[in-house]
Amino acid sequence: MPPDFDWTCIDTVLLDMDGTLLDLEFDSYFWLQHVPQTLSERRGIPLAQAQALIEAQYQAVQHTLSWYCFDYWSTTLDLDIHSMTHALGHRASVREDTLPFLEALRAQGKRTILLTNAHPHSLAVKMAHTGLDAHLDLLLSTHTFGYPKEDQRLWQAVQQHTGFDPARTLFVDDGEPILDAAKQFGIRYCLGVENPDSSMARKTFLRHPSMHDYRTLLPAAPRP
């Protein structure tokens, strides 16, 4: 479904990080390849066994803050997730359509807020390697508030913290359950990202409009 929102009715743009502003390929490689391989080597078990063990652990906490928490996974897997992320930080990359979009939003006076479920360490590493923070007005990790974006309490806390008006806000994310939560809270415009990971096929969104290139959405300059 193509997006159908009116930029004159939008003041604030809330943006996810991984898969939305950054290529999700980094996280796919890290969590689906690097972590299982490292666990296999550390425990001396077959890679397939390590993958199955980790998949079961992932499923057990999906859509909770633990799923995104480096401290949780460091303890659960007995791996130093912080240092592993730091070592691979150079793999983080910005989507090619991200900066033109953010620059257009800034030129139009829209407030841009990064709102990610990523752990603060992941956020810091990725900003250090991409410089994306220079193009945003505010960076927020949901860990600061104690709830993931799937939880209505997170949206209440973020609204109190930033003062955004849900009726005049666009939220962009690559996860449909998260878009569902935003819509439930009352955010008027919710948009899915069809191609969050450059190494994988496009996604299909069933309940929200979606796009694959921000440059098709650039807000037009106001007429004099």
How does pLDDT run across 1-33, given as a tens digit for each residue?
A: 557 678 999 999 999 999 999 999 999 999 999
Q: Is 184 exposed, middle or buried (0-12, 13-18, 19+ CB in 10 A)?
A: exposed
Q: Are 84 and 66 in contact (CB under 8 A)?
A: no
Residue-range domain boundaries for the chain: 7-24+93-217, 26-90
CATH of domain 7-24+93-217: 3.40.50.1000
The pTM score is 0.92
For the record, the structure tokens of 8 come out as 């004159």
In whole angstroms, what is the distance from residue 85 CA to residue 122 CA? 7
| Sign of the dihedral through C-alpha 159, 163, 169, 175 | negative
Nearest C-alpha neighbor of 73 from the set 116, 121, 26, 41:
121
Summarised one tens digit per residue, pLDDT across range 140-153 is: 999 999 999 999 99
User: Quick one: the chain helix, strand, coil %, rounded to 5?
Assistant: 50, 15, 35
Residues 33, 197: Cα–Cα separation, whole Å: 15
pLDDT digits (tens, 9 = 90+) for 48-61: 999 999 999 988 88
